[in-house]
Structure formats: C-alpha cells, structure tokens
C-alpha cells in the first residue's frame, strides 16, 4: 500500500509506503515498543497519550475563546492532526513533523498572538538598533530573510572578512521546555510595555499596534493578559493521530501560527541577556565577535566570530538545546546564499538546495495549463530580483538567469516575451544591476 504526500518542495508529491508513514508517526509519538527502548523514556516524551476524548478538549477551548470574545466557526471545532513530509534532499531521507493547525480550536487565538509577538519583536529590533547606534554592539540577531543579511554584509565591507561559520539547532521546536518558554516569553513581553504609549496592544484583523488606552475594542490586551494567553496556548497544545489524542509536553508544534515567533523570541531572550551581561562586565572584545551574527529561527550565521561561539554556546542557550555547526571557515551556505571569503571580502551568490536533489522537481508555471499568461511572466521578474540581490558577480547572475530562461522556455514561455520582461525589469530595478558595472544590453543578451 502507498500513501501520497506533499514534499518540502512545493507543488511536488512523493509516493511513500503507508506502513512506513504510519511507523514514522508512531515513532515520533513514542508509542512503538522499539522507540520506547531506544529513545528517551516515556516520562520525557515530547507527546503524552491521553485517554480522554478530543471533544472534551475542544469544548474546553471553546469556553476559553467565548470567555475572551474570540469567535470560533464550526470548522474550527476540532484539534490539529499530526502529519509529516519527507526531507528528501537529506541522505538518508528525514521527516519534518507538522501539526495541521490551519483550522482548529486554537487557531484564532494563535493568530492574534502572532500579531502581538510580531509587534513585540519589532519593538525589540528598534530598541536594539538604538543600542547599536549608541555603543556599536549588536544585540539583535534575528533576520527575516537573506535580504537583511546581504544589506549588513554590504555595510561591513570596510572590515576584512576572516571566517564564516553556520550553526543549527537540531530539533528546536520539540526541545523547548514549557516552563522556560513561558518564563522567557514573559520577560520579552514585559520589556516592551511601559506606562506611556505602550500600555496596551490593540489587535485588528491583520495586525496589532501599541495603544495608550484600552478603548472600546474587544481585543485590546495589557501585558498580563497577553502573557496569560500565551501561557494558556502553550499549556493547551494537543494533536490527534488516528483515533488517539496526544498532549505536547515539550516544545511547540510546527504548524501553529505563532510558533516561529515563540521560538525566535525564546532564543532572543537568552542572547540579549548574555550580551547585556558581557557589556556590563566591559568584555568588549567578546561582544565584537558577535557584531556580525544573524539568526533565522534555528539557523545561525556568524562572521568574524573566530569560532568563539563554539566556546560560549552553552553559556548562552539552555542545556536542552543542541547547537551544531559545520566545519567551514571560508565558505558556507546560509538561507539562499552561498557565501565565500575571497581576498578578505565576502562574495555571495545564490544557493538553492534543490540543485543538489537527485531528482527533478516541479516548479514555476507551465503555460500549457489553464493559467493566465500575464501573471505567469511575473514569476520571471520575482526570480530576477532574487538573483540580483544574492549574486555579487554578473557571471553568477547570468548563469542563474540562463538556467531559469531555459526551464521557462521548456514550459511554454516565449523567449521574445522573456526578453521584453527582462528589459522592463532592468528599467524598474536598475539599482540592483548597476553594481555589476556592465551594460544592461550586454547582460540581457547573455541571459535571453
């Protein structure tokens, strides 16, 4: 028997043995006999099997939502189910476990908390920018994408690059202890509220903003209310698998809206406190080694750190989190960037891990289907913007673009139309191409 599932590469599916699929789920839930013997004991399992019915938990959630004027629709009166997708670029293949939370009893609250934590993170980012401006030390490592990384790399060209190293938290989401998560998130939230303009957070349909008064809206929380909602959500993480229900006793599920912000701010709390401690101790040489650090959730990049992170990682982060690193010094991959030190300068080009897949994948529109042509050509522009931001040399940009043009042409895109779109891109985003110091027409001829 086989089971068809989506893979980590969007728009692609893989056919997996159904027995293997179920076995992996049961192993993750620690209810296989062999997993109990080889893995951690049941008392420390990430998930705990419960005998009560899911409807009991859903009713409890519904009462909490009603108490706080949060609406639940009929389709949300259920718990998320656990599933996994294969990480087929790994050898051997691994699994990523996700709680399907797109429609469940905690969805509305998790969405509202997401808006609040996004505002909290931005407030901390602004505060850390002020600190860096005043004393020159970076206390905010969080980045949203590789654009932030590239901008910082461009800004630091004055300093010769010595080394690059990337780190990764293995199983971050399922390793965070709930008591420490609640404590650190409460600290992060408390730091942002004050008695003047940031007394409340008002929550709208798509965002949240600071307010000095509560107003008449139903969804306007002070710091204690926000902390209370976060703590309740952390304590009410349930998933189903078949007819069984499980409570997640350790960590947070991938799939719930606010999970990335919880993980990000949890790590930020430890980083900020450690950096502040170093500053108060006037250990400025140590602080300088972390001025060019970036972290995208569980992926960390350190430049000119001289491997100092290897020595202090256990000082910064809690013992439950394991931080592993690559052995690279002069070249490394981070997000969609391939970074290499050449003559004391960081050279970047695009890195796409899908290039290393041992199989072809489906991506980009195929014009043989029933899709609008005009919007489809917009994909070409978006990729050109991405390539030009990542690639520092014109040769790397042209090489990437030629591969894309060839694939789009095979999928029904016309070469003359692609050329016209490229020319329009070059006109609208001239600032991205000017760094190549090469005539636009020559670049266009080489690409299309």
pLDDT tens column, 74-115: 999 999 999 998 877 666 778 889 999 999 999 999 999 999
Beta strands, E only, 151-243: 164-170, 200-203, 208-211, 220-221, 238-241
Q: How far is CA 30 from the centre of its chain?
A: 26
| Res 33: pLDDT | 57
Estimate the crossing angle of helix 259-280 against helix 178-192, to 10 degrees: 70
Tokens for 321, please give them.
Answer: 């989190």
- Which residues are CB-contacts of 59 (< 8 A; sequence separation ≥ 6)? none
Q: Does residue 225 carry a pLDDT above 80?
A: yes
d(CA 329, CA 346) in angstroms, rounded, equals 12
| Res 357: pLDDT | 74
d(CA 86, CA 16) in angstroms, rounded, equals 9
Which is nearest to 148 in space by CA: 33, 299, 2, 7? Answer: 299
pTM: 0.90
Q: Rounded mean pLDDT of 175-202?
A: 94
d(CA 397, CA 393) in angstroms, rounded, equals 7
| Res 43: pLDDT | 44
Looking at the DSSP bridge assignments, the partners of residue 448 are: none
Tokens for 386, please give them.
Answer: 């991405």
Number of H helices, E strands in the chain: 15, 17
Q: What sign does the dihedral 62-64-67-73 (CA atoms) show? A: negative
User: Contact 315/274 with Cβ under 8 angstroms?
Assistant: yes
């Amino acid at each position: 028997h086989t089971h068809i599932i989506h893979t980590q590469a969007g728009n692609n599916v893989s056919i997996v043995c159904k027995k293997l699929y179920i076995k992996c789920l049961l192993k993750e839930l620690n209810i296989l006999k062999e997993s109990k013997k080889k893995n951690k004991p049941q008392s420390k399992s990430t998930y705990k099997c419960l005998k009560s019915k899911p409807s009991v938990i859903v009713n409890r959630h519904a009462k909490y939502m009603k108490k706080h004027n949060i609406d639940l629709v009929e389709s949300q009166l259920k718990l998320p189910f656990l599933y996994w997708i294969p990480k087929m670029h790994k050898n051997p293949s691994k699994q990523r476990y996700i709680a399907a939370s797109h429609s469940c009893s905690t969805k509305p609250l998790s969405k509202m908390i997401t808006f609040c934590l996004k505002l909290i993170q931005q407030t901390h980012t602004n505060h850390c920018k002020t600190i860096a401006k005043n004393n020159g030390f970076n206390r905010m490592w969080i980045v949203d994408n590789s654009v932030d990384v590239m901008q910082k790399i461009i800004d630091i060209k004055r300093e010769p690059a010595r080394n690059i190293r990337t780190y990764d938290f293995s199983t971050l989401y399922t390793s965070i202890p709930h008591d420490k998560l609640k404590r650190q998130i409460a600290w992060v939230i408390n730091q942002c509220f004050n008695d003047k303009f940031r007394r409340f957070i008002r929550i709208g349909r798509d965002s949240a903003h600071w307010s000095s008064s509560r107003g008449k809206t139903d969804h306007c929380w002070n710091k204690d209310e926000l902390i209370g909602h976060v703590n309740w959500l952390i304590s009410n993480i349930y998933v189903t698998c078949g007819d069984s229900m499980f409570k997640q006793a350790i960590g947070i599920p991938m799939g719930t809206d606010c999970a990335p912000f919880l993980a990000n701010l949890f790590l930020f709390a430890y980083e900020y406190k450690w950096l502040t401690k170093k500053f108060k101790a006037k250990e400025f040489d140590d602080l300088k080694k972390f001025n060019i650090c970036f972290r995208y959730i569980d992926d960390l990049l350190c430049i000119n750190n001289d491997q100092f992170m290897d020595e202090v990682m256990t000082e910064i982060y809690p013992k439950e989190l394991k931080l592993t690193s690559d052995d690279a010094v002069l070249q490394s991959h981070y997000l969609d960037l391939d970074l290499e030190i050449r003559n004391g300068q960081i050279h970047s080009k695009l890195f796409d891990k899908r290039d290393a897949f041992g199989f072809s994948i489906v991506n980009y529109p195929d014009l043989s289907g029933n899709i609008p042509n005009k919007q489809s050509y917009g994909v070409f522009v978006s990729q050109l913007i991405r390539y030009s931001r990542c690639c520092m040399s014109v040769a790397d940009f042209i090489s990437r673009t030629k591969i894309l043009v060839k694939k789009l042409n095979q999928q029904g895109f016309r070469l003359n139309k692609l050329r016209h779109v490229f020319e329009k891109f070059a006109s609208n985003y001239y600032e991205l191409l000017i760094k190549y110091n090469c005539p636009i027409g020559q670049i266009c001829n080489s690409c299309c």
